Structure 1
Amino acid sequence: MAQTRRQIARIGALGLFAAATVALTGSPAGAHVTVSPSVTTAGSYTVLTLGVPHGCDGSATTKVSIRIPEQIVSVTPTVNPNWTVQKVMADLNPPVKDSHGNEVTQRVAEVVYTAKTPLADDLRDTFELSLKLPDAPGETLAFPAVQTCEQGETPWVELPAAGQDADELEHPAPSFVLTAKAEPADASPQPAAQPVSQTTGSSGNGTGVVGWIALVLGALGLVTGGLALLRTRKAA
C-alpha cells in the first residue's frame, strides 16, 4: 500500500515537471512583436521601439516590414547596424502642410528593415521610429508588421474587433492607445497688492514734514515779534 502511494506521488511529480517544461519552452514561441512608445500623449513627438522576440517557428528572421498609420506623414527610422532600412513612400491626395508651412505630397507608408545577417530564432532585436503622434486622444494606433524568415513568414497584422481583447488574437498587430494631454495645474492665488499707507505722523513723510516746518516758522515768528516789542519799549 505504501509502495503504491509512492508510485502515485512520483507520477504526479513527473506530470507537474512536464507541464512546467512545456510552459517554459512554449512561452517564447507565443511572444508577440510589440511596440513601446516613449510618449503616448496625443499630438506629441515620440520614439517607438518595436521588438522582434523570435523567428518564425524556429527559422531565422531576414526582414521586418512595419506599416505606418495613415494619420502619420513623417517618420525617421533609427539606424540599426545589423540591418539596412528603407522608407516606402505613398502619395498624399490632397497634399498637406507641414509645421513650417511647406507643401508635403508624400508620406511614409512603410518602413522595411532587412537583415544583413539573418537574426537567429533564439535572439531578439529592436527597431526605433521617431515620429509625431496624431492629435486624437483615446484612439488606438496600430503598426501592423510582417516578419519574413528564411522559411515562411509571420504577419503580425490582426486587429481586435469591438470589445475583443487583443491577447485573444494569434498574431496581433503592435498597438497602443493615445492619451490626453495633462491638464495644467491651477496657478496659486497671488496675494492682493497692499495699498500704500497714507497715514502721516511725527515720524512720517509728506504732511508730517510740512507740520514740522510750520512749527519752526511759527516759533521764529514769535521770536521776531518778541524782539520787535523789546526794541519798541526801549525806544519809548
Structure 2
Amino acid sequence: MTMNRSALILAIALALPTLPAAAHVSIDPAQAAPHAYVRAALRVPHGCGDAATTRITVRLPEGVTAARPMPKPGWTLVTTPREGAPEPTGHGAVRDLGTVTWEGGRLPNEHYDEFVLRFRVPNTPDATLWFAVRQDCEGGASVNWAEIPAEGRRLSDYPHPAAAMRLTPR
C-alpha cells in the first residue's frame, strides 16, 4: 500500500509542471472547432490580492466576430466596436466588437465568477486565440492578464497569461 501511495504522489508531482497556472483568468471551453459559434465563459478565480473585482474588460482576438456578451445582474455592460468595423445595420445585426467590459458589480476576493460571451471563431484550424483580460479591483488595484507565451514556452512560465482557446485541427 505504501508503495502505491508513493507511486501516486510521484505521478502527481511529475504531472504538475504540465498543468496550466490555476490562478489566472481562463476561458471555458478551452477549445472549439474552427468557424463555429461558441458560448464561452471567462472565469475569474479571485480579486487583486484581497481587493474585490469591480471591472472585467476582455479584448477580443482578431478574427472573432458576431460577439454578443451576456448581461450580468448588478453589472453594467459596455461594448466597444473594433477600430474600422462597419456600423451595425438594423434588425439585430452585430457589430464587430473589439472589447467588452462588465463594470460596477462587486466580486469579492474569496469568490469566483464567470462572464459569458457568444461569438464566432475564425476558420483557422490548429490555431490559438488569445483573450486579453484586464481585471480592475477596489482601491485602484488591477491585473492585466495579457501575456502570450513565446514559441516553446508554457502558460505556467508567465505570471499574467492571457486566456487561451485552441481551435481544433480539421
| TM score, norm. by length of structure 1 | 0.57
Contact 1:38–1:46 (CA under 8 A) maintained in structure 2: no
Q: Is the 8 A contact 1:67 1:143 kept in 2?
A: yes
The structure, 1 or 2, with the larger RCO (C-alpha pairs under 8 Å, 6+ apart) is 2
Q: Give the counterpart of 1:173 among 143, 162, 165.
A: 162
Q: How does 1:85-96 map to 2 (within 5 A)?
A: 85-92=77-84
Higher strand share: 2
Q: Which protein has the larger Cα radius of gyration, Structure 1 or Structure 2?
A: 1
Aligned to 1:77: 69
1:124 maps to which residue?
Answer: 112
Deviation of residue 80 (structure 1)?
1.2
One-letter identity of the residue aligned with 2:110? D
Aligned counterpart for 1:36 among listed residues 5, 10, 28 = 28
> What pairs with 1:7-18 in structure 2 (closer than 5 Å)?
none
Asked if the contact 1:50–1:128 (Cα under 8 Å) also holds between the matched residues in 2, the reply is yes
Instruction: Report the Cα offset of residue 38 of structure 1.
Output: 7.8
Q: Which residue of 1 aligns with 2:126?
A: 138
Distance 1:147 1:45 in 2: 25
Structure 2 gaps, min length 5: 1-21, 87-92
Deviation digits for residues 73-98 of structure 1 (CA, Å, limit 9, x no counterpart): 321111211311111113337x6xxx
Q: Is the 8 A contact 2:32 2:38 kept in 1?
A: yes
CA separation in 1, counterparts of 2:136 and 2:145?
11
Q: Distance in 2 between matches of 1:44 and 1:90?
A: 20
TM (normalized to structure 2)?
A: 0.77
* Native 8 Å contact 1:39 1:45 kept in 2: no
Report the CA distance between 1:37 and its aligned residue. Answer: 2.3
Deviation at 1:115, TM superposition (A): 3.0
User: Contact 1:92/1:107 (CA < 8 Å) preserved in 2?
Assistant: no
CA contact (8 A) 1:141 1:178 kept: yes
Quote the residue 1:233 is aligned against: none
Q: Which secondary structure does the structure 2 equivalent of 1:74 belong to? A: strand
1:113-139 CA-to-partner distances (Å, cap 9, x unmatched) read 0033x2111011101110111000111
The question of 1:147 aligning with 2:135 is answered yes
Residues 40-88 of structure 1 show CA distances to partners (whole Å, capped at 9, x for unaligned) of 0001111111011110011111100000012123211112113111111
Measure the CA separation in 1 of the matches of 2:83 and 2:146: 23
Q: Tell me the equivalent position of 1:13.
A: none
Task: Check the 8 A contact 2:30/2:166 in 1, yes or no.
Answer: no
Stretches of 4+ moved more than 2 A in 1?
A: 90-93
Identity %: 32
In 2, are the aligned partners of 1:65 and 1:112 still within 8 Å (CA)? yes
Q: CA RMSD in A?
A: 2.4
**Match in the other structure for 1:162:** 151
Between structures 1 and 2, the one with greater helix share: 1
Distance 2:111 2:57 in 1: 18
